Homo-oligomer: A and B are copies of this chain.
Amino acid sequence: MPVGYSRLPELLPVPGVRLAAVAAGIRYRGRDDLVLMELAAGSRCAAVFTRNAFCAAPVIVAREHLSREAPRFLLINSGNANAGTGEAGLADARRSCALLAGRAGCEPQQVLPFSTGVIGEPLPVDRLEGALDGALERLSPGGWEAAAHAIMTTDTVAKGVSEQIELDGRPVTITGISKGAGMIRPDMATMLAYVATDAAVDAAALQACLREAVERSFNRITVDGDTSTNDACVLVATGQSGTEVLQTGQEGYRRLCIAVNSVCERLAQLIVRDAEGATKFVTVEVEEGRDAAECLSVAYTVAHSPLVKTALFASDPNWGRILAAVGRSGLPGLVVEDIDIFLGDVCIVTAGGRAPGYREEDGQRVMEQEEILIRIRLGRGEAIERIWTSDLSHEYVRINAEYRT
């Protein structure tokens, strides 16, 4: 069970977007594993991809297609990542796009392919092809929920969020879905996220909006420090709301960005809440750093520490492990005596040692909660950063030792 999240809320349709989920039998049996997302003509599409050097074939092809044509379809499969598959994998990704384009009457370059699942197995394009006609028939504005389920791999729950704002006196919807539970860390991870709005947004402004939102959401989460070969996040603006085309600097653009940010932040947090084996949802906040980079460096060192993560799993206020992680984060000229560390509202470390008046039961009380805040005050600047992570449990090992076998 995810921490603090039990099931998908209602997902609002986005005018200009239709979705279908079908069972292609790519790897899983008895469940949908192929999603088709159709974007109305005139839609704009921004995307960010994994920075892993070994990026998957669909990532290479999606980047290529995006640079040439405005996409009309996103074609997403779960169960097979089409990664580590060399030239044959590239050919498979291209063929999948062509097969859909032939049926849908568009150019292959107007299809963006996405894959998530096992690395290194050839993509069964024939099975995918066999499911395309059914998917095209089933396209519907209400397909978000089925799509959220179909893109899952080790996720235990489907993830989605909707928001509405008003622009030019008209309602504008932002709906997003995401998947991911392991191989998660900044610079994207084994995660896919698709967010769409019916706002009309200038192409450069849309990319800027996505980049900023991803930086503050998907790039602020870590489960295990591993990044994937397939990560992608797409933001679509169909323009069907009939509102004016937004440009950077406009008030309406700023408000849309805040809403997209909020949707992405919630989708990112859902990934951590559903992290493999997670029993805790942990916020690590680093304050009073000289700049964002050093705040993040401390935050990730703490969040990646297996010893901190197992202490979180054990609900053990083992603040020595947090302190040791801060100490090895590599900040130049770190003055130990200036650092304060809090568990929730309980001060546990000051002046290089246990805080006077700290009582084990106070730390224990915080650690027993499902949602925990670790706050580190560096005492050397004004910067502040916040990331989200999970604990390291028996389940994490079981899931990752058994996956694939």
Residues of A within 8 A of B (CB): 51-55, 81, 83-89, 118-120, 182-183, 187, 224-229, 304-307, 310-311, 313-314, 316, 318-321, 323-328, 331, 334, 336, 349, 351-354, 392-394, 396-398, 400-402, 404-405
Among candidates B52, B120, B224, B310, residue contacting A307 with C-beta atoms closer than 8 Å: B224
State the Cβ distance, A374 to closest chain B Cβ, in Å. Answer: 15
- Give chain B residues whose Cβ lies under 8 Å from the Cβ of A307: 182-183, 224, 226, 400
- Give chain B residues whose Cβ lies under 8 Å from the Cβ of A304: 225
Cβ of A354 and Cβ of B316 under 8 Å apart?
no
Q: Which residue of B lies closest to A329 (CB)?
A: B53
State the Cβ distance, A91 to closest chain B Cβ, in Å. Answer: 12
Query: A85-B354, A328-B227, A353-B89 are contacts. A336–B401 as well, Cβ < 8 Å?
Result: no
Q: Which residue of B lies closest to A337 (CB)?
A: B86
Cβ of A397 and Cβ of B400 under 8 Å apart?
no
Cβ of A405 and Cβ of B314 under 8 Å apart?
yes
Q: Which 6 A-B pairs have the closest CB atoms?
A: A119-B320, A86-B353, A54-B327, A310-B400, A314-B401, A52-B327
- Give chain B residues whose Cβ lies under 8 Å from the Cβ of A228: 324
- Give chain B residues whose Cβ lies under 8 Å from the Cβ of A316: 401, 404-405
Query: With A and B bound together, what is the CA distance between A328 and B405 in angstroms?
Result: 24
Cβ of A400 and Cβ of B311 under 8 Å apart?
yes
Query: A54-B323, A394-B398 are contacts. A349–B310 as well, Cβ < 8 Å?
Result: no
Query: With A and B bound together, what is the CA distance between A52 and B324 in angstroms?
Result: 7
Can you list 29 contacts pairing A with B, beta carbon distance less than 8 Å? A51-B328, A52-B324, A53-B327, A53-B334, A54-B324, A54-B327, A83-B323, A84-B349, A84-B352, A86-B351, A87-B353, A88-B353, A119-B323, A120-B319, A120-B323, A120-B354, A182-B307, A183-B307, A187-B328, A224-B305, A226-B328, A227-B327, A227-B328, A306-B306, A306-B392, A311-B401, A316-B405, A392-B397, A394-B398
Cβ of B327 and Cβ of A229 under 8 Å apart?
yes
Q: Which residue of B lies closest to A277 (CB)?
A: B397
Query: With A and B bound together, what is the CA distance between A224 and B321 in angstroms?
Result: 13
- Give chain B residues whose Cβ lies under 8 Å from the Cβ of A352: 54, 84, 86
- Give chain B residues whose Cβ lies under 8 Å from the Cβ of A353: 84-89, 120
Query: With A and B bound together, what is the CA distance between A397 and B313 in angstroms?
Result: 9
Q: Which residue of B lies closest to A401 (CB)?
A: B314
State the Cβ distance, A278 to closest chain B Cβ, in Å. Answer: 13
State the Cβ distance, A398 to closest chain B Cβ, in Å. Answer: 7
- Give chain B residues whose Cβ lies under 8 Å from the Cβ of A305: 224-226
Cβ of A55 and Cβ of B327 under 8 Å apart?
yes
Give the one of A86, A396, A404 with max B CB within 10 A.
Answer: A86
State the Cβ distance, A69 to closest chain B Cβ, in Å. Answer: 26
Cβ of A326 and Cβ of B54 under 8 Å apart?
yes
Query: With A and B bound together, what is the CA distance between A352 and B60 in angstroms?
Result: 13
Cβ of A53 and Cβ of B88 under 8 Å apart?
no
Query: A307-B182, A334-B53 are contacts. A120–B320 as well, Cβ < 8 Å?
Result: yes
Cβ of B331 and Cβ of A53 under 8 Å apart?
yes
Cβ of B398 and Cβ of A320 under 8 Å apart?
no
- Give chain B residues whose Cβ lies under 8 Å from the Cβ of A393: 397, 401
State the Cβ distance, A89 to closest chain B Cβ, in Å. Answer: 7
Cβ of B320 and Cβ of A118 under 8 Å apart?
yes
